[in-house]
Amino acid sequence: MQPRLRGDQAPAWQALRAHAASPVDLKSAFAADPGRFEAFSQQAPQVFADLSKNRIDGAVQSLLFQLARQCGVEQHRDAMFAGEAINSTEGRAVKHWLLRSPRGASADPDAQLVHATLDAMLDYAERIRADAAITDVVNIGIGGSDLGPQMAVTALQEFVLPGKRFHFVSNVDGHELAAVLRQVRAQSTLFLLASKTFTTIETMTNARSARAWFDAQGGKEVARHFAAITTNVAEAKAFGIGATFGFWDWVGGRYSMWSAIGLPIAIAIGADGFRQLLAGAHEIDQHFAGAPLEQNLPVRLGLLDVWNRNFLGMGSRSIAPYHSALRRLPAYLQQLEMESNGKRVDLQGRPLAAASSPVLWGEPGTNGQHAYFQMLHQGTDVVPVEFIAVSRASHRLERHQELLLANALAQAQALMQGRADPGGHRDFPGNRPSSFLLLDELTPASLGALVALNEHRVFVSGSVWGINSFDQWGVELGKVLATDIAQRLESGDVSGLDASTAGLLRRVRASG
């Protein structure tokens, strides 16, 4: 690809700065424009988005589209879908979209292998679903090998096969694994070990402990009770595993739930459900690839994130899913956004002149209302809130869904409108921005679309910032140092360490 213009060097950037100096007042904007809701809302595949309560107007939106074009976002997007090596620091293509492309829909040379792996993985999932002797499935992975599957299985609990329980272990802290092992029996448990290289220290530490527990409990047939999602077939075989499913270096961990990493999802909701998940994501892929910028929801969201971060100075975004099944979505989106765009240099290695990834955080509503919404309404920092709601519930409990949706709508309204109080303590300044994403129902297809929408939105903002959203070198340094310190904890050698690390190491050893 030809070098693209970085956002802060584009002509539209300076024009946007000028507009940011005269901020939009939301109450006045709605009063002046009866069509504001229609102008700043959109139906995309599976997802309706209302962006009208953000501090934007027609001029800002037009300039943001100019910014995207000046930065070559469309060309960058097309290069990704063409299979070009846009992950430049690792020399890799970025093709998670291929994992959800229907059979025969793509001429990509990897498409046939993708579907062969998918078929084999789903066939295995169906065999496990049919095996009544397996009552518990324990997924052992970390990062993208944990967050995506855990989030999806939790979100789609209404579709999970009765009679099987799903557990997720990621932390090297043995308390997490021990708590799971207390709930299961060796003869009725399937362990899924998710590690591309089969060397990830947290995953393999947990895997070896699970295998030791299995043996100590009199477990038989390791090959029946352990499976691996890895490319290191030899090490998996040496572990005693027969069933292995691979994936490719063009699948980043945080984009991998569509691959064999999604095996626990497939076991939970079945092959048909997993294919619906892929289909929902593919709908958004097609929308992102083909819709004009002005009607392209991932583009509109990504540009809004740039506007809030760089021009309005908003350093974080709160995710408020008003559906308890989406309670792991904020954690999933944290990795997606912050590991992708938490960068300080551009594609050429030059320091950025503008801020990149915001901090993402949140909890399900209405819990968040009784925890941190006080700060959102009356705090000194202005934090954009992203409400995610579902119109139709899957339960039949009276009044619950109406009250839940009423709270979501009311909180967004209150943030925007505020309320005056001359005494100050009950004064709500208002003019606090929010977006509202609405699904008709929470299904495999709608969840797939929601996740893919966020993947592409992160792509757009990273493209404008001129960074590589698909590497994660920041993860490496601490892991390297941890290996050295683990050896020092055994030996007690503190030579060459800084005084703080040495002092803490001595104290840990003395009390251990």
pTM for this entry: 0.97
pLDDT at position 422, please?
Answer: 87
Mean pLDDT calculated for residue range 54-71? 98
Q: For the chain, how many structural domains are there in total?
A: 3
Mean pLDDT calculated for residue range 46-59? 98
Mean pLDDT calculated for residue range 404-412? 98
Work out the burial of residue 63: count CB atoms within 10 Å of its CB; fewer than 13 is exposed, 13-18 middle, 19 or more buried.
buried
Tens digits of residue pLDDT in 106-122: 999 999 999 999 999 99
Tens digits of residue pLDDT in 136-163: 999 999 999 999 999 999 999 999 999 9
Which residue in 289, 279, 283 sits closest to 258, CA to CA? 279
Q: Do residues 313 and 174 both lie within one domain?
A: no
Q: In the 8-state DSSP scheme, what is residue 345?
A: B
Q: Do residues 30 and 46 both lie within one domain?
A: yes
Strand partners, 390: 439
pLDDT at position 1, please?
Answer: 58
Q: Do residues 163 and 174 both lie within one domain?
A: yes
pLDDT at position 423, please?
Answer: 85
Strands 47-50 and 41-44: antiparallel
Q: Do residues 325 and 233 both lie within one domain?
A: no
Mean pLDDT of the chain: 96
Mean pLDDT calculated for residue range 118-142? 98
3-state SS, one letter per residue, for 107-153: CCCCHHHHHHHHHHHHHHHHHHHHCCCCCEEEEECCCHHHHHHHHHH
Q: Do residues 189 and 225 both lie within one domain?
A: yes
Output the DSSP codes for 1-42: -PPPPPGGGSHHHHHHHHHHTSPPPHHHHHHH-TTHHHHTEE
Identify the weakest region by mean pLDDT among 32-36, 128-132, 357-361, 477-481: 477-481
Give ∠ CA 412-449-50 in degrees, rounded to 5.
Answer: 25
Mean pLDDT calculated for residue range 253-262? 97
Which strand (E) or helix (H) includes residue 360?
strand 359-362
Confidence of residue 512 (pLDDT cuts 50, 70, 90): confident
For residue 413, the domain's CATH number is 3.40.50.10490
Q: Do residues 139 and 247 both lie within one domain?
A: yes
Q: Do residues 219 and 353 both lie within one domain?
A: no
Domain membership of residue 488 as a residue range = 475-511
Q: Is residue 183 part of a domain?
A: yes
Q: Do residues 428 and 283 both lie within one domain?
A: yes
Q: Would the pLDDT of 31 be above 70?
A: yes
Tens digits of residue pLDDT in 319-345: 999 999 999 999 999 999 999 999 999
Domain boundary among 222, 255, 271: 271
Q: Do residues 415 and 468 both lie within one domain?
A: yes
Q: Is residue 1 part of a domain?
A: no
Q: Do residues 84 and 49 both lie within one domain?
A: yes
Tens digits of residue pLDDT in 160-180: 999 999 999 999 999 999 999
Q: Is residue 62 part of a domain?
A: yes
Q: Do residues 292 and 440 both lie within one domain?
A: yes
Give me the helices (H) in 367-470, please: 373-378, 400-417, 444-465
Q: Is residue 39 part of a domain?
A: yes
pLDDT at position 479, please?
Answer: 87
Q: Is residue 176 part of a domain?
A: yes
Q: Do residues 408 and 463 both lie within one domain?
A: yes
Catalytic residues: 339, 370, 479
Domain boundary among 219, 254, 271: 271
Q: Would the pLDDT of 223 be above 70?
A: yes
